[in-house]
Amino acid sequence: MKTFPRISALFALFALVCPAVFFAACAREQTPAPNANAAKIIASDDFTRGPGQWVVEQMPGGSVTAKNGALTINDKKGCTVWLKQKLTAPVTISYEVTMSPDARVSDMNCFWMASDPAHPGDLFHAEAAKKRTGKFSTYDALNLYYVGYGGNANTTTRFRRYDGTGARPLLPEHDLADAAHLLKAGHTYKITLVARDGEARFTRDGETIFSYKDPKPLTEGWFGFRTVDSKMEIRNFRVTAE
């Protein structure tokens, strides 16, 4: 009879411990496995350590700085700032950009998946500095996707797929001029560019402005900020790949 309290205590301990062990095991079994296809960051810049990741092509009279968390393009006659790293689809590029009210508010532009048909493996080949000066027309012979947001003195927003011939075709649905798709000084825009599964996409503040299913998709190339006669401040640049 004296053993009954001891046995009862053992049963009570078993009742307490076993459910805890059981539920812990279930929790381990239900923990999702890492996603092998999850996006990973392949390039980023917080613009606190200078412009070392970038190549600047700019006409005289402007400047480009990277400090205090912002890449600032202060331009007069035309400028492209290229990321040195080559990108391969599927890829997503994101950043924030503000058009300063202290200058002309126009041309919050960008290139992505850009390449030179004459030198497809190297955008920065020996002849590049002679061919591309920051003047807009010196990019006509490239293959690339282009958005000119608030171009032509903030009267148009356009998407083009350059084909390397200089033709720069423009489809009617890619030619916008309403106020909702033009620039506002001082507003910080959240931009996302995508090249994936044959689609080129431009998203602004969560809204897809352009989506183009390319019959001959550009699957690799370079990204560049682009503007003319304006002041752009860019922050939180990031590129992810699957």
Q: List, in order, residues 6 or more apart from 225 with CB less than 8 Å away.
A: 71, 73, 80, 81, 97, 109, 110, 232, 234
For residues 19 and 56, state if they share a domain: no
User: How many angstroms separate the Cα of 171 from the Cα of each of 145, 212, 221?
Assistant: 13, 10, 23
Token representation of residue 131: 């061919």
DSSP state of 118: T
For residues 91 and 133, state if they share a domain: yes
For residues 17 and 61, state if they share a domain: no
The pLDDT assigned to 129 comes to 85
How many residues comprise the chain?
242
Burial bucket for residue 176 (CB in 10 Å: 0-12, 13-18, 19+): middle
Instruction: Measure the CA–CA gap between 34 and 205, rounded to whole angstroms.
Output: 30
The pLDDT assigned to 198 comes to 98
For residues 95 and 120, state if they share a domain: yes
For residues 93 and 196, state if they share a domain: yes
Instruction: Measure the CA–CA gap between 193 and 113, rounded to whole angstroms.
Output: 10
The total number of structural domains in the chain stands at 2
Q: Which domain holds residue 175?
A: 40-241
The pLDDT assigned to 184 comes to 98
For residues 10 and 116, state if they share a domain: no
Q: List, in order, residues 6 or more apart from 178 with CB less than 8 Å away.
A: none
The pLDDT assigned to 42 comes to 98
For residues 14 and 55, state if they share a domain: no
For residues 192 and 104, state if they share a domain: yes
- The neighbour count for residue 184, using CB atoms within 10 Å, is 14
For residues 13 and 71, state if they share a domain: no
For residues 137 and 209, state if they share a domain: yes
Q: List, in order, residues 6 or more apart from 8 with CB less than 8 Å away.
A: none
The pLDDT assigned to 27 comes to 44
Instruction: Measure the CA–CA gap between 93 and 83, rounded to whole angstroms.
Output: 11
pLDDT tens for the 242 residues of the chain, in order = 444 444 344 334 334 444 444 344 444 445 555 565 678 999 999 999 999 999 999 999 999 999 999 999 999 999 999 999 999 999 999 999 999 999 999 999 999 999 999 999 999 999 998 899 999 999 999 999 999 999 999 999 999 999 999 999 999 999 999 999 999 999 999 999 999 999 999 999 999 999 999 999 999 999 999 999 999 999 999 999 98
| CATH number for 169 | 2.60.120.560
For residues 20 and 44, state if they share a domain: no
Q: List, in order, residues 6 or more apart from 100 with CB less than 8 Å away.
A: 185, 186, 230, 231, 232, 233
DSSP state of 71: E
For residues 96 and 14, state if they share a domain: no
